[in-house]
Amino acid sequence: MNENSEGARQYTEAEIKEESRKIRLLRRLVDFSLSLIAQSSISIEEAQRVVQAVRNQACILFPGKEATFELLYTPRFRRLIAEKFSLL
């Protein structure tokens, strides 16, 4: 592990590329899932299962970052599900 004079970790180019790849993958998964929920005739239970599957995959890609998923993506899924199933 490389550290600079302030003690902050320096990431390798390979680590940065891998993190970027995982972020792109999660974004595509979220976008696809939002589209699936919005454009298909799935039930609310199926929609909730899709959200849980995306959350699980996010936890695999980014262990320990569950709170970040909840902050960034859960509100988007909640809004869409509330709108689609007239829960407002």
- The pTM is what? 0.85
Residue 8: predicted pLDDT: 84
Residue 31: predicted pLDDT: 98
d(Cα 10, Cα 72) in Å, to the nearest integer? 26
pLDDT along the chain (88 residues), means of 10: 66 96 98 98 97 98 97 97 90
Name the CA radius of gyration of the chain, rounded. 17
Closest CA to 77 of 29, 41, 23: 29
Residue 18: predicted pLDDT: 97
Residue 19: predicted pLDDT: 97
Residue 88: predicted pLDDT: 65
Residue 69: predicted pLDDT: 97
